[in-house]
Amino acid sequence: MVKIRWLGHAAFIIKIKGKTIVVDPWISGNPACPIKSNELEKVDHVVVTHDHGDHLGDGIEIAKRDKAKFIAIYELALKAKDEGVENTFGANIGGWFEVDEIKYLLTPALHSSMIGEPVGVIISDGEKSIYHAGDTGIFEEMELLGKMYRIDVALLPIGGVYTMGPYEAAIATFMLMPRVVIPMHYNTFPAIKQDPNLFKKYVNKIAPKIEVKILKPGEEVEL
């Protein structure tokens, strides 16, 4: 069983194959997050898509607290190591790599960053796969990702301004063809105010067989 819990913005807790993974753990200062950083359960892996504060967030502190493996683009992993994280795994965009029997694949993301390249990530236990797109605009290779890797759940930004908006994210959903799509990265602050039901409306029209799950911060889905 795989569990995915949204902590608001782009932060998720994913429980898969006996491991607890936190992705883009912006908790402190995140107005949408339902918990405080000291309330976060013990995690095994910290995955960060890029170094902007609303994604790196508390990642380095959590990794040090729990002696968790910090997984990110190579240069960002070096930064984490320099800041005292004992267990880091730096990778780049390419093929699968394995950490504690969990498979990871870093994907392109159309965005910016100060250290290394921004990425998305596919996380798999060999049976089910979750794609966290990170911060990104739509890009043509999403269709290839959907064809190459059977994606069960796609976590896609819909906020606009810094990422895809609802329409672009709906087209991306059609390209990826996951079983389930969960919108993220919206309504955290005024610039990215969006109605997730508009995204759902677009998906229902473009790709009606794909289930759209709109979560409230703190809510969880099971696969």
What integer is the mean pLDDT of 133-139?
98
pLDDT at res. 100: 97
Please give the structure tokens belonging to residue 163: 């990422």
Please give the structure tokens belonging to residue 182: 């969960």
Q: How confident is the model at residue 110 (pLDDT cuts 50, 70, 90)?
A: very high
Task: List the beta bridge partners of residue 69.
Answer: 45
Percent of the chain with pLDDT over 90: 99
Evaluate if pTM is beyond 0.95.
yes
pLDDT at res. 23: 99
Helix (H, G, I), strand (E, B) or coil at 168: helix
pLDDT at res. 66: 98
pLDDT at res. 140: 97
Please give the structure tokens belonging to residue 172: 């991306």
Residue ranges in the chain assigned as alpha helix (H): 53-56, 59-66, 74-82, 142-148, 166-176, 196-206
